[in-house]
Structure 1
Amino acid sequence: MDAFKLLTRSTKLKPTAASSNSHRLPSAGKAENPQLFRSAQDLETKKRKRGSDEHEDSDGNEGSDNEFDATQLALFGAKSAPVKNASLKESKKLRKSNKNQSVEEDNAQNEPDSDHEVSTAVMEESERRSILKAHRIKVSDLRDLEEIQAAKTGDDVEKKKKRKKKKEPTLSKKKQKEARQLYPEPLVSFQELRNKYRVSRRLTANIGEQGFSVPTEVQMGSLPLLLWNSAIDKTPSSPKESQELDLLVVAPTGSGKTLAFLIPLINNMVQHHRQNPGQREICSVIVAPTKELVGQIVNEGRKLAVGTGVTITAMRKGMQVMDLIHDEENLLEEKSSSESDPGSSSDNETEDAKSKSKGKKTNTTVTKSDILVTTPLALVNALSANKTKSVSPLPSVEHLVLDEADVLLDPLFREQTSAIWNACTNPRLRISLWSATMGSNIEELTKETIKKRRESLAIENSQNTSTPLLRVVIGLKDSAVPNIKHKLVYAATEQGKLLGLRQLLRPSAAVAPNEARLRPPFLIFTQTIPRAVALHSELLYDIPPEAGGSSRIAVLHSDLSETRRSDIMKGFRKGEIWIIITTDLLARGVDFRGINGVVNYDIPTSSAAYVHRVGRTGRAGREGGVAVTFYTKEDIPYVKSIANLIHTSEKLQGTTGEKSVQKWLLDALPDLSKKDKQELKRHGVKARAASAKLRPDGKEIRTSRISTKSGYDRKMENKRKGTITANRQKSKASTVPAESGDEWEGIDE
């Protein structure tokens, strides 16, 4: 008999109060409902079932207090959380119906779309208003009021302007807001994609196979607007029905924006292939600010495009996106024809140039892709031959998507993004901008760019009205995700921040039952690359060897090679790496399922940066994520904007208990001027700026010190070292014997 089993037979421990009341980790599995803003009825049913759900722990994730016990960490959704029976049955039914649809598609590949019955049932306006209000979806038209009224009445814009000169009464702000407000029909279920909007059968099946059963708010509001043209006939009864639109979407982080813009692009390419068989060209371009986000979009797109024949490609160095040889041949022909008296030598030179260009054409191949995903600089370099000539046009592109648009239109990327936008010369180009934060300056810049492009290409339509530019806002504009816990911690000094971070890594004090605890995996954000490297070297051996040691923590920044960055991302997704110390490189768009929290070791440089940083946790409706922000005495002038964001987020989620930011703190924190905000965004906190030093070879190296020693202790140590060095030099000088004949005897004649 096994002695261990005999001794442990009666040691079944009862769950403690702390373990029973503890929150489920975000990495424990898939969220029951990915929607961030549910209706009041859903919230009431959730409250009723909360008592029984709190004691369920079939995954065994809440047992021990050991922070680095690998057996108790459900890293990155390796195990699935218990799902309600009703939602499980619905998802099974949806998958079964999607499989049946895919089988029908395989059996009837040549079946035209016109044979499929499209649902013509239309929601009443009161029902649409109630659904949009319950999910906090706001759709508004950003065009001028004259253009909106002209589109409604069918009049010409010029007539409207003439009428305006006759001193018509101006509308109040409330009336203008009501005139811009729209109430389109929302997407209640993914089954409507096929029944109402004629989305490809195979694409609909792929959506179900990926586990998407309930559309999120951003998908409910934006997909009907982007898919409306695929639901109408090819010969519409009125010009308004055939008019496509430009879209500007502001939705919280982790709300499903990637899926919202990928589904219409893939569906459009399926229809394009059906109408133009055998034709392969780049019809859609997606621009993202980082390579990590580009790779993520390509992976998600390829999962949705399985079996549809649509190819999605990530832009790489040296890739040729279009045939540039024809442009060179045309230039050579124009040059030869413009010569007044061409000689035989010039003709031979022209023929040699043509033969060389043809030779180059045979050696290089153009990328055969339908949807191209790229960073701004990579595509601009490809279109301008590494900036050796002007940017070549992309006449085949009909859809341009800017993911994280506020960064792409920021002065850092604006020139490159504008070059790509202007290179898309197709008159039917439709653009959509997506981000969790978007200021009014981005909206004005978008309207101005669309207007200038329309004038430069002389784009006109029958009614002389511009293409609608609609804005979809989910929840409160530019606010943090409402389903995570925020902590604002005053650490006083840099050494206090390091001590506070070590306490998060290995907490020793008892945790209150309702207090949210930060557990790996999580991200740590710093202000600069040198500080990230210094913090990594300081924490490298804080994780015990029995939990994996230094292999569990890594640093990721833009100075690393692409291969190294990719390896760190793969290790983090697999659960081999628990903690990543990084800069704002990973603050935007990157989706790690099951991150338990985020630590702002250095305070963010703007409120938008805070929204995107903390948005790495609480993805797709998961609850329980923790966002910890340390601030010191030097950071106090910059804290108020972040404190206001935390206060608004807790107000949005209806927090009734103790709040992270008290009112007295909001009143005591100083306001920051506009100039100081711009300076902070450009250079960060000056007290933590890396000091530049020169190597012996003349190269500049930037260092940043992160240590638990105070500046006073370090100063006293340096004084002692300097005193010791000076004493040694004096003792050496006193021991050297004086040489004879060293006295000065005057100037020799």
Structure 2
Amino acid sequence: MDILKLLSRSSKKPHKSSSAKDEVITKLPSAGSSTNPQLFHDTIPVARGKKRKRAAESLDDRIKEKDEEIDFFAPKSANHKSKNDSTVDIEESKRSASSFDAAKLLDYDDCRQILRSHRLKVTLLPASNVQRKAKKSKKSKADKGAEKKKGTEVYPQPLEAFGDLRTTYGISRRLGENLFQQGYKVPTEVQMGSLPLLLRPKIALGSSMTELDDFNTDNGVNLLAVAPTGSGKTLAFLIPVVDSIVQRRRANDDKRHSLEAVVVAPTKELASQIVNEAKKFCVGTGIKVVGMRKGMSIVPESNSGTTQDSSSEEEESELDDATPKLKSLLPLVRTDILVTTPGLLQSALSSTMPEHPASLPSVRTLILDEADVLLDPLFRDQSLGIWNSCTNTELCVTLWSATMGSNIEELASSTIQSRATRIGLQLSPRIIRLIVGLKDSAIPNITHKLIYAATEPGKLLALRQLLHPTARSTDGTQPLRPPFLVFTQTIPRAIALHSELLYDIPASAGGSSRIAVLHSDLSDPVRNQVMTRFRNGEVWVLITTDILSRGVDFRGINGVVNYDVPNSGAAYIHRVGRTGRAGRDGGMAITFYTKDDIPYIKNVANIITASEKASGMPESEASLQKWLLDALPTPSKKEKKMLKMHGVESRRAGLGKGKDGKVSKGKKSGMQISTKSGYERRLENNRKGAIMGSKRRMQNEMSIEVDRADDDSEWGGIDD
């Protein structure tokens, strides 16, 4: 070997392009899981007069220490006890009360510092006075503003690691093992603040309970949580529900399935996802989770008292011989947790008597996922009908979403207050509000791009550039890589865009099978098939409407493309939240806008600016400069309302082919999804019309000649 080559080997610099390329690839959301799913990591200041023991320790060291302290994760061979699991669980439940008292809890100052470092704000909202609306009293604006700001800020115990769920809050041993097997170690911000309150509110609030004389936590708490998309809200409300059912069945020694919790979601895709996640945590616990389907019926608990886990052969034969009318009156299913959409459950409750819907007296927990949509005018009547059907006096309601308006908070408070008055509770229940980060803002770990495309053909050309494998961004950043989602305003536009891009991917890369479309007009089996193919990586580009904008978890999505500007700021937050899930960096959100979108684009621009500011990006590197924000027009309240209800008016016209197959004529032909200009389409239509006219003339001429031939060959009879 040449000695000069050997000595000079260390002086060679690595190739910059390859290292940069590898660095970009590792930052993609689809590259792998994030070690720390938390979004905010502000430094904790050292308290005055004393030093924090763990101020210099890293998060990984604390997690390792927690893992070493946990013994219930060890295999059964390591334990010297030879008792059954049920006996061990009963003994552990008896020791739970004493272990809670001996658990090491943080003091008031430490709780306050940790919650503020993770940007968590917990507030006990005041009780809503329903009768206040009837009295018209003149109040100044200052009094009204002070009245809205009323509320007691509390600092509950934060959850530093999932190991504390067992040692401090005494969750079921089997549930703790399921969490460990799923790889959950570090809680996100919403899990850090909500799980202690929902599991053991007295332990979580601690010394704050003495200041809250009018707040009762014997039957649990009502929680309203506002947290960014992809922050683990599903896990936050499933763990307390599963644990409460396990503890209650263990205390009563009753293994029968009775409906104790109802989870309501706005879409079927989100409901199916919640069912799959819940089944992972219920392994070995004996708890049954069912997703509601069409045809299931619900009757009052009093009429279904004979429901048991095991039935005799005579009972089964009677059920088989029952008439269809009697079968429709049978109980829904033997389940503990029911996951449903509001329309399915409300129709099942009112199937027997529409004027007097059936009640659900056994339900102790009602969960509204994406509560701002469920309490919006679109689903409000159905959601409130389900809420009123839960007549149990110990009912606890939790509301979860990434965006929550003040009107939703007031509606939830007034509903709880009116229900307590109707039932006759002595102490009116109150709501604890948990806010993570900045309220109604996008997640700070994704890159936002706002691209002006001028016209509809410009948007289509820009999207085709993203599909090209050699595409490069003009600003020098890494381009968007599949898989990604494409959102449109309406179903016909999604179908038209899918037809336009169907053959843009070469056959060597999979061709048209790599592009799919999903909307509410498709049947349930087709929608499930498309979702499965997209999750398995068989589909690279999924074109859809706002049906997939909420709650659905795609951990491998590299980006989101808003082909049409969303109808509101909340819709933008939920759309772009499909990427960058669980703290993953590298997600990209691209929004195309045209001249027709300029009056409505400022809401999106403000959200992008707030997200970049929350991520710590300097103003010089911001994607939107201040002069552009000032130049954009501010939409009025009427324009915002019309945009939220109907979208951009120009895109509602000229939607393309309708259900009858005919092309609808809109006010603006430029709104059609096509790269051809109006002049080219007119020439093409004239050419097609001329060809069709010539075919018709040829057919008419041939039919005339046939008629003449028939006349000449016809026999006229014998002349006299």
TM-score, with length taken from structure 2: 0.80
The question of 1:38 aligning with 2:41 is answered yes
**Kept after mapping to 2: 8 A contact 1:197/1:230:** no
Report the CA distance shift for 1:689/1:698 in structure 2 as closer, same or farther (over 3 A): closer
Q: Which amino acid aligns with 1:98?
A: F
**Kept after mapping to 1: 8 A contact 2:561/2:590:** yes
How far did residue 559 of structure 1 move?
0.7
The question of 1:228 aligning with 2:203 is answered no
**Kept after mapping to 2: 8 A contact 1:523/1:597:** yes
Q: Which amino acid aligns with 1:671?
A: T
SS at match of 1:491: strand
Match of 2:625 in 1: 662
Match of 2:93 in 1: 113
The question of 1:267 aligning with 2:249 is answered no
Report the CA distance shift for 1:360/1:725 in structure 2 as closer, same or farther (over 3 A): closer
The question of 1:617 aligning with 2:579 is answered yes
The question of 1:313 aligning with 2:300 is answered no
**Kept after mapping to 1: 8 A contact 2:120/2:189:** yes
Match of 1:631 in 2: 593
How far did residue 123 of structure 1 move?
1.9
Select which of 506, 516, 534 maps to 1:554: 516
Q: Which amino acid aligns with 1:636?
A: I
Select which of 107, 113, 116 maps to 1:124: 107
How far did residue 144 of structure 1 move?
4.7
The question of 1:471 aligning with 2:433 is answered yes
Select which of 116, 134, 140 maps to 1:133: 116
How far did residue 110 of structure 1 move?
3.3
Cα deviation code 1:115-164 (max 9, x no counterpart): 242244332221111111100000112215999xxxxxxxxx9xxxxxxx
Match of 1:302 in 2: 279
How far did residue 711 of structure 1 move?
2.5
Aligned residue runs from structure 1 range 322-721, under 5 A: 322=299, 326=303, 360=326, 364=330, 366-385=332-351, 388=354, 390-461=356-427, 466-506=428-468, 508=470, 510-511=472-473, 515-656=477-618, 658-691=621-654, 705-718=672-685
**Structure-1 separation of matches of 2:245 and 2:697:** 82
SS at match of 1:603: coil
**Structure-2 separation of matches of 1:306 and 1:326:** 30
SS at match of 2:439: coil
**Structure-2 separation of matches of 1:450 and 1:383:** 21
Report the CA distance shift for 1:172/1:571 in structure 2 as closer, same or farther (over 3 A): closer
**Stretch deviating more after TM superposition (582-591 or 650-659):** 650-659
Match of 2:134 in 1: none
**Structure-1 separation of matches of 2:71 and 2:511:** 46
The percentage of counterpart residues that share the same residue type is 51
**Structure-2 separation of matches of 1:371 and 1:114:** 26
**Structure-1 separation of matches of 2:60 and 2:563:** 42
**Structure-2 separation of matches of 1:300 and 1:649:** 29
**Kept after mapping to 2: 8 A contact 1:692/1:700:** no
Report the CA distance shift for 1:324/1:468 in structure 2 as closer, same or farther (over 3 A): closer
**Kept after mapping to 2: 8 A contact 1:553/1:579:** yes
Match of 1:255 in 2: 231
**Structure-1 separation of matches of 2:34 and 2:481:** 18
**Structure-2 separation of matches of 1:403 and 1:653:** 27
**Kept after mapping to 2: 8 A contact 1:34/1:216:** yes
Q: Which amino acid aligns with 2:540?
A: W
**Structure-1 separation of matches of 2:69 and 2:510:** 42
Q: Which amino acid aligns with 2:380?
A: R
The question of 1:19 aligning with 2:47 is answered no
**Structure-2 separation of matches of 1:467 and 1:85:** 39
**Structure-2 separation of matches of 1:146 and 1:532:** 46
**Kept after mapping to 1: 8 A contact 2:33/2:584:** yes
**Kept after mapping to 1: 8 A contact 2:304/2:330:** no
**Structure-1 separation of matches of 2:664 and 2:538:** 30
**Kept after mapping to 2: 8 A contact 1:323/1:366:** no
Q: Which has the higher contact order (CA 8 A, sep 6+)?
A: 1
Select which of 171, 180, 201 maps to 2:152: 180
The question of 1:217 aligning with 2:184 is answered no
Q: Which amino acid aligns with 1:659?
A: A
How far did residue 278 of structure 1 move?
3.2
Report the CA distance shift for 1:32/1:702 in structure 2 as closer, same or farther (over 3 A): farther
SS at match of 1:275: helix
Cα deviation code 1:438-491 (max 9, x no counterpart): 001101111111122122222224xxxx21211100000000011000000000
**Structure-2 separation of matches of 1:376 and 1:390:** 17
How far did residue 197 of structure 1 move?
1.3
Q: Report how many aligned residue pairs link the two structures.
A: 636
**Structure-2 separation of matches of 1:90 and 1:215:** 15
Cα deviation code 1:621-663 (max 9, x no counterpart): 0000000000011111110000000000000001125211111
SS at match of 2:400: strand
**Structure-2 separation of matches of 1:540 and 1:410:** 36
SS at match of 1:319: coil
**Structure-1 separation of matches of 2:16 and 2:69:** 38
**Structure-2 separation of matches of 1:395 and 1:134:** 41
Report the CA distance shift for 1:146/1:599 in structure 2 as closer, same or farther (over 3 A): closer
**Structure-2 separation of matches of 1:545 and 1:90:** 53
The question of 1:200 aligning with 2:180 is answered no
SS at match of 1:278: coil
SS at match of 2:90: coil
CA RMSD of aligned residues (A): 4.0
SS at match of 1:111: helix
How far did residue 22 of structure 1 move?
2.3
How far did residue 322 of structure 1 move?
3.7
Report the CA distance shift for 1:243/1:392 in structure 2 as closer, same or farther (over 3 A): closer
Stretches of structure 1 lacking an aligned partner (at least 5 in a row): 1-11, 43-83, 148-156, 158-164, 329-354, 737-749
Report the CA distance shift for 1:35/1:362 in structure 2 as closer, same or farther (over 3 A): closer
How far did residue 264 of structure 1 move?
0.5
How far did residue 189 of structure 1 move?
1.5
TM-score, with length taken from structure 1: 0.77
Report the CA distance shift for 1:359/1:508 in structure 2 as closer, same or farther (over 3 A): closer
Q: Which amino acid aligns with 2:341?
A: T
Cα deviation code 1:346-388 (max 9, x no counterpart): xxxxxxxxx9999926994541111111000111111111775
Match of 1:742 in 2: none
**Structure-2 separation of matches of 1:389 and 1:327:** 21
SS at match of 2:532: helix
**Structure-2 separation of matches of 1:406 and 1:362:** 33
Report the CA distance shift for 1:175/1:392 in structure 2 as closer, same or farther (over 3 A): closer
How far did residue 530 of structure 1 move?
0.7
**Structure-1 separation of matches of 2:483 and 2:656:** 35
Q: Which amino acid aligns with 1:32?
A: T
SS at match of 2:286: coil
Report the CA distance shift for 1:731/1:568 in structure 2 as closer, same or farther (over 3 A): closer
Cα deviation code 1:681-731 (max 9, x no counterpart): 111111111547999x97988698311012243245446667898999999
**Structure-2 separation of matches of 1:123 and 1:171:** 37
Stretches of structure 2 lacking an aligned partner (at least 5 in a row): 1-12, 46-58, 132-136, 306-320, 666-670, 705-720
**Kept after mapping to 2: 8 A contact 1:95/1:209:** no
**Kept after mapping to 2: 8 A contact 1:555/1:582:** yes
Q: Which amino acid aligns with 1:626?
A: M
**Kept after mapping to 2: 8 A contact 1:18/1:512:** no
How far did residue 92 of structure 1 move?
6.8
**Structure-2 separation of matches of 1:246 and 1:324:** 24
